[in-house]
Amino acid sequence: MTYSIECMKQEHENISRMLEVIRQACIGILELSPVDVGDFRDMVDFIRNYADKHHHGKEEKFLFPVMVQKLGRVADNLVTHGMLVEHDLGRDHAMSLATALDEYEKNPKTEYKLDILTEAMGYARLLKRHVEKENNVVYTFAENQLTPEDLADIDAKSRKFEEEEGAKGVQDHYLGILERLEKKYL
């Protein structure tokens, strides 16, 4: 397995852990626990900056363009009409969840609580399937079909990106949020 694919699969594990936190936080609300707006805002922060900007950013900047350029129509359909569409759907859920949190904070009505649950679980369900597709189809296809040179180039760019983000403390920050929320909700 290449460095970049291994790194992205590890990030998928972290994202999947957050999806379970989201699920358990939603179950708590259904069981009449109060909505912890701060925790849900941390979940949105994790979604936007770790899952999307950090993880999906590597896919969208380094892996997917090479796949589309070098692997033809199958890759174009898989990436452009599959993975990128799902990335955008995830962004929509995150934006709608943030809006629901804003509305709930202003006026804690049941309808806004429902919106929080709907968007949080919509995101969690979408990403659970998305992770499975990328791990089992997209990454395997890329590793089997791209040239060793292309994979080495993607690895070099991913490694540099990881080092730069690590120097800024990005990974540690978001994994800290994940661990704190896991202790509370799992």
DSSP-assigned states of every residue in 71-125: HHHHHHHHIIIIIHHHHHHHHHHHHHHHHHHHHHHHS--HHHHHHHHHHHHHHHH
The reported pLDDT for the residue numbered 62 is 98
161-180 residue pLDDT tens:
999 999 999 999 999 999 99
The reported pLDDT for the residue numbered 166 is 98
Q: Helix 148-167 crosses helix 64-78 at what angle (to 10 degrees)?
A: 110
DSSP 36: -
100-158 residue pLDDT tens:
999 999 999 999 999 999 999 999 999 999 999 999 999 999 999 999 999 999 999 99
The reported pLDDT for the residue numbered 123 is 98
The reported pLDDT for the residue numbered 63 is 98
The reported pLDDT for the residue numbered 81 is 96
49-89 residue pLDDT tens:
999 999 999 999 999 999 999 999 999 999 999 999 999 99
If you search the block for the tokens 């969690």, which residue do you land on? 124
The reported pLDDT for the residue numbered 125 is 98
Structural domain boundaries of the chain? 3-185
61-100: b (≥16 Cβ within 10 Å) or e: ebbbebbbeebeeebeebbeebbbebbeebeebbebbbeb
* Span 30-35, average pLDDT: 97
The reported pLDDT for the residue numbered 111 is 97
The reported pLDDT for the residue numbered 48 is 98
The reported pLDDT for the residue numbered 5 is 98
Question: What is the CATH topology of the domain spanning 3-185?
Answer: Four Helix Bundle (Hemerythrin (Met), subunit A) (1.20.120)
